[in-house]
């Protein structure tokens, strides 16, 4: 991107991003498409300017309203795990946040439907994604735990906050063969789980411990 704001300098430069990608490789991320998105999405524009120099550290950072931008490894891990098993047409994202996960995922699928309960965060995410030319995303201000029934079924659902138990509505909105990625459990005891809907059952696979903000109902 020719815009210096996007391409970055110093701690937001291409060299800094390359070091992040190398760390993610060392941590087991193998999808070249996902790594390419991590390298090319300017994470620093999704955080406050004061935190820009830390944008390519592999750590979560505050984005206001008690929310965080997930660490790059988690974004890469969840995106890679969602895509494993074949290409996706319609993906529901629960918890838009600042829009960084959306920006990484959107070019890798046909369409993203994303829900955020905190309206100022949603407005900010819309602005950033528009700036980046990401056009295949539909936005909704609402309670993500209820899913997006009018657009269901989805062949992929990614949840960026942790419920204590998986909302039944999300499982019901998965089509056969569809995959749901969701962190589940109380603080300090969360695990990332991949559910896959089959004809007569739902398979459950644990992908390891994680730490997310809780999934809250309602809107803010």
Please state, in angstroms and as integers, the Cα–Cα distance from residue 182 to each residue in 10, 13, 82, 211, 216, following that order: 35, 32, 10, 11, 14
Catalytically annotated residue among 31, 70, 145, 206: 70
Q: What angle do CA 137, 74, 5 make, to 5 degrees?
A: 60
Q: Where are the beta strands (DSSP E) in 99-219?
A: 111-116, 137-141, 154-159, 174-184, 191-197, 202-209
- Cβ distance 202 to 184 under 8 Å? no
Q: In what order do the strands lie in the sheet with 191-197?
A: 137-141, 111-116, 90-94, 154-159, 174-184, 191-197, 202-209
Q: Are the C-beta atoms of residues 39 and 18 closer than 8 Å to each other?
A: yes
Is residue 206 among the annotated active site residues? Answer: no
What's the token pair of residue 49? 């300017």
**Residue 181 phi, psi dihedral angles, 5° rounding:** -105, 120
Active-site amino acid positions: 70
């Amino acid at each position: 991107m020719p815009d210096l704001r996007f391409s970055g300098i110093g701690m937001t430069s291409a060299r800094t991003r390359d070091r992040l990608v190398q760390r993610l490789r060392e941590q087991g991320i193998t999808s070249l498409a996902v790594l390419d998105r991590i390298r090319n999405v300017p994470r620093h524009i999704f955080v406050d300017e004061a935190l820009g120099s830390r944008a390519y550290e592999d750590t979560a950072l505050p984005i206001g309203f008690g929310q965080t931008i997930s660490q790059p490894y988690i974004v890469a891990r969840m995106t890679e795990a969602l895509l494993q098993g074949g290409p996706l047409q319609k993906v529901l994202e629960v918890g838009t946040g600042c829009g960084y996960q959306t920006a990484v995922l959107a070019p890798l699928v046909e369409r993203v439907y994303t829900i955020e309960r905190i309206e100022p965060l949603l407005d900010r995410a819309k602005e950033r994604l528009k700036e980046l030319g990401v056009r295949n995303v539909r936005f909704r201000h609402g309670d993500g735990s209820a899913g997006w029934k009018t657009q269901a079924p989805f062949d992929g659902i990614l949840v960026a906050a942790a419920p204590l138990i998986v909302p039944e509505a999300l499982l019901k909105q998965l089509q056969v063969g569809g995959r749901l990625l969701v962190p589940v459990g109380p603080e300090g005891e969360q695990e990332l789980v991949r559910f896959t809907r089959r004809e007569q059952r739902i398979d459950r696979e644990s992908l390891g411990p994680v730490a997310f903000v809780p999934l809250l109902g309602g809107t803010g």
